[in-house]
Structure 1
Amino acid sequence: MIRIDGTMGEGGGQVLRSSLSLSLLTGKPVQLTRIRAGRERPGLRFQHRMAVEAAARVGRARVEGVRVGAQELRFEPGAVCPGGYDFDIGTAGAVGLVLQTVLLPLALAAGRSTLTVIGGTHVPYSPSFHYLDWHWRVLLGHLGVRFELDMPFAGFYPPGGGELRARIPGDSEVGPAQWTDRGRLLHVRGLSAVALLPEEIAERQRARALRGLEHLDCPVAIAVESMPARSPGTVLALLAEFEHTQACFFALGARGKRAERVADEAVQDLVAFLATGAAVDRWAADQLLLPLAFANGASVLRTAEVTLHLLTQAELIPMFLPVRIRVDGTLGEPGTVRVLPRASAQRE
C-alpha cells in the first residue's frame, strides 16, 4: 500500500488525480490522507469525487471514503477494463480533469474505449476543451498516445452542462520526447467564441487579440464562433505552432469582465512564453510527466516555467514507478526536465 500525504507539493486535486492514475497504471493500491487539507473547502469536491468514481469504474477498484468533503481515501485497483463510460459531475466541475485521470490507463489498455463526461468544459483553474483538443491531445499523439475529442455542448461556470466525448483506440505505446528547441514560430491561430451571448463580444475579443499580436513576424488568424451550450460564457484560445513544438493559451470571460480583458490575458500569456525561448509551456510540462514516465526511452523538455505542479509530479511519480525525474531550474523560472524510465535509468 502506497501512502500519500495529500498536502505534498501543490497540495490540491493534482495529487489525488495523479495518484489514482498511477494506481490504475501500476496496479498498486494507494491510501491518501489530508486530501486538499490546506484549501478553503478541504477534502473531495464534486469533480474530485467523480474522478475517484471514474477511476474506480475503469479499474474495477475497491474504494473507501468516496464522499464530498472526505480527506482520506483508500483505493485498491483491479484490472483496467476498456469499454464505454459515462460520467456526470453534476456541477460545473472540470470535465477535462476527470478525463485526464483515466485517459492514460485506458489508452495503454488492450481495447477500445469511449468516454463521455458532463460538467464544465471551460471553467477556471483547469484546462479548457480547446487546450485539451488543440494542444494536450496533439502532444500526446506525438508520444504515441492517440485519441479523439469532441464537444457537443460547451459548459461554463457556474451552471456547467457541457459535454466532452473521447474515443480512445487503446493499445498505445509511449515514446520519448526531445523538446528543447522549439524552432521558428510558423503561425498563430486562434478562436474567439461565445455561448448564449451576442457574437459582438467574440468580435471584440478577436479584434483586441489581433492588435496585441500584430508585432509578430508570422501569420495570425483568429476565427469567431458561437458554440452550442447549456450555459453562457466566452473563451479566447491561441495556438502558436513552431517548427518543432507548439504552445496553447486561453482566457475565459466572466460576469463584468470586458471582452478586451479576456483577449489581453491570452495574448499576454502567449507573448510571455515567446520571450522565454522554451519549447514547452508551463501547463503542458507537468501534464507530460506521467506519460513520459511510461515511455520506452529517456525524455528532455525545456519548459517556460518550473511550477509547483511540475515539482509535485516529479516527486509523486517515483513513489509508484522506478523512474528518475530531474528538474533543473528555479521555481517560477524556465527550466529543463529530464525523465528516465526504468530501462533508460539502468543504462545511465
Structure 2
Amino acid sequence: MESHGLTYDGCNFFRQRLVLSTLSGKRVKIKNIRSKDDNPGLRDFEASFIRLLDKVTNGSRIEINQTGTVLFYQPGLLYGGAVEHDCNTQRSIGYYLEALLMLAPFMKMSLKATLRGVTNDPIDPTVDLLKSSALPVMKRFGIDGEGFDLKVVKRGMAPGGGGEVVFTCPVRRTIKPVQLADPGKIKRIRGVAYSVRVSPQMANRIVESARGVLNQFLPDIYIYTDHMKGPNSGKSPGFGLTIVAETLNGSFLSAEMSSTPQGQGDPVLPEDLGRNCAKLLLEEIHRGGCVDSSNQSLALLLMTLGQQDVSKVLLGPLSPYTSCSRSRCRSLQRRKVKVATRS
C-alpha cells in the first residue's frame, strides 16, 4: 500500500473517519482493525459501508489487505446521482443513512439513494427517528427545499430485513450559520407506532401505554399507527415506537424503542415498550439542548462545514459517541464555532 495522509489505529469511529476523509479529500489508512480478535479484520457491514461510499463517489481508491486488518482509502469526487444499495443486515439502514446525511448536501449532483435492508432494530437509529429528528436539524442549516425527503417504502425488522427506503437530497453549496441557544418549552409530541408480521393490535397497545405516561404532562399528543402488510412488511416480525417532542422554538427531541429481534433474547410486551419509550423521551427532554443526543455529531459537523460566521448551539450532556470525538471539537474551535453544553 502506498504512502498515506492520516493514519488511525483500530475500528473505532470507522464511519466518521471515512466520512471526514471523503469531505476533506484527505487519504486515510486505518490499521490494526480488530487485529487481536479471534475473528480479525473488517466486518461484513463495514465492507458494505465502504461499497456504498464507492457508489456515491467517483474515482475513489480502496485497498484492503488479505486479513482485512488494514484499509487504505483515497476518496474520489463526491458525485451523487441515483444510487441503489443492499445494506448488510448485521446493522440497520440507519447505520448507512447517518453517513449519507452528512455527505448528501455536498455532492456534485442531487442524491437519490435507494437503500434496502433492516429499517428498524434496537442498535442503530431507525429510519423513522432520522426522518423526524435529523432532517429538521439539517433544515435549520439551510438544507431543505423540494426533493429533500426520506420515504419508507417497505419495513424490514431485524434480523431478516427486507425493508426499503428512498432518501433524496438537493445539493447545497453553502451551509448557513445557526444561533440555537434556547430550545424553548415543549408544545406537542408526535410519533409513529409500527408493526409488521404481528397483530395490528400491537401498535394500538403501544400507543395506549405511551399516552398513559405522556398525557400526564401534555394534552397535544398524536401517535399514528403504521401496520404494513404483505410484501411491504419485510421478512421478520416485530414492532416499535418512535416519538418526537417539538419545542416552541423549533427544536426536535426524539426517543425510540424496537422489539427484541426474533430469536435474540427475551420478547418484550408492547405495553412495556410503549411505557419505556415514553420515559426515554422524558429523559431526553430533561437533558435539554436544542439538538437531541442522537443528532449531536451531525449538528457539530454541519457547524464545522458552515461559513466562517460564528455558529452557536446549546447541547445537553454529550453522548459517548460525540464526546469521544475530541479532535473534532478542537477543529471546531478553530472554525469559530461555539458549543455550549448543559450539565
Contact 1:47 1:98 in 2 (8 A): no
1:260 corresponds in structure 2 to 271
Matched, 1:247 2:253: yes
- Aligned pair in 2 of structure 1 residues 277, 62: CA closer, same or farther (>3 Å)? closer
1:151 corresponds in structure 2 to 152
- Aligned pair in 2 of structure 1 residues 282, 159: CA closer, same or farther (>3 Å)? same
Matched, 1:129 2:119: no
Matched, 1:142 2:140: yes
- Aligned pair in 2 of structure 1 residues 273, 106: CA closer, same or farther (>3 Å)? closer
- Aligned pair in 2 of structure 1 residues 172, 266: CA closer, same or farther (>3 Å)? farther
Q: Secondary structure at the match of 2:72?
A: strand
- Aligned pair in 2 of structure 1 residues 322, 328: CA closer, same or farther (>3 Å)? closer
Matched, 1:63 2:62: yes
1:34 corresponds in structure 2 to 32
1:117-266 to structure 2, matched below 5 A, reads 117-146=115-144, 147-227=148-228, 228-230=232-234, 231-244=236-249, 245-254=251-260, 255=262, 256-266=267-277
CA distance in 2, matches of 1:82, 1:274: 36
Deviations 1:265-315 (A, max 9, x none): 211111112223432221111232222210123323222322221123342
1:81 corresponds in structure 2 to 79
Offset at 1:259?
0.6
Q: Secondary structure at the match of 2:95?
A: helix
- Aligned with 2:317 (options 290, 305, 315): 305
Q: Secondary structure at the match of 1:55?
A: helix
CA distance in 2, matches of 1:21, 1:132: 18
Matched, 1:292 2:303: yes
Matched, 1:6 2:6: no
1:315 corresponds to which letter in structure 2?
Answer: S
1:303 corresponds to which letter in structure 2?
Answer: L
1:63 corresponds to which letter in structure 2?
Answer: I
Q: Secondary structure at the match of 1:249?
A: strand
Moved more, 211-220 or 199-208: 211-220
1:106 corresponds to which letter in structure 2?
Answer: A
Q: Secondary structure at the match of 2:324?
A: helix
Root-mean-square deviation (CA), in Å? 2.6
Aligned residues: percent identity?
A: 22
2:253 corresponds to which letter in structure 1?
Answer: A
Gaps of 5+ in 1: 336-348
Offset at 1:325?
6.6
Contact 2:114 2:164 in 1 (8 A): yes
Matched, 1:49 2:50: no
1:115 corresponds in structure 2 to 113
- Aligned pair in 2 of structure 1 residues 34, 267: CA closer, same or farther (>3 Å)? farther
2:45 corresponds to which letter in structure 1?
Answer: Q
CA distance in 2, matches of 1:24, 1:153: 30
Q: Secondary structure at the match of 1:301?
A: strand
CA distance in 1, matches of 2:35, 2:298: 23
Deviations 1:213-236 (A, max 9, x none): 111134111112203321321111
- Aligned pair in 2 of structure 1 residues 318, 43: CA closer, same or farther (>3 Å)? farther
CA distance in 2, matches of 1:241, 1:166: 23
2:47 corresponds to which letter in structure 1?
Answer: R
Offset at 1:90?
4.0
- Aligned pair in 2 of structure 1 residues 328, 4: CA closer, same or farther (>3 Å)? farther
CA distance in 2, matches of 1:199, 1:223: 12
In the superposition, the TM-score normalised over structure 2's length comes to 0.86
CA distance in 2, matches of 1:66, 1:102: 26
2:256 corresponds to which letter in structure 1?
Answer: F
Contact 2:189 2:221 in 1 (8 A): yes
2:233 corresponds to which letter in structure 1?
Answer: A
1:338 corresponds in structure 2 to none
Deviations 1:157-185 (A, max 9, x none): 11011112111221342122322311121
1:267-282 to structure 2, matched below 5 A, reads 267-282=278-293
- Aligned pair in 2 of structure 1 residues 294, 235: CA closer, same or farther (>3 Å)? same
Offset at 1:61?
0.7
CA distance in 2, matches of 1:139, 1:73: 32
CA distance in 1, matches of 2:68, 2:225: 42
Contact 1:46 1:93 in 2 (8 A): no
Contact 2:19 2:99 in 1 (8 A): yes
Gaps of 5+ in 2: none
In the superposition, the TM-score normalised over structure 1's length comes to 0.84
CA distance in 2, matches of 1:108, 1:309: 23
- Aligned pair in 2 of structure 1 residues 90, 126: CA closer, same or farther (>3 Å)? closer
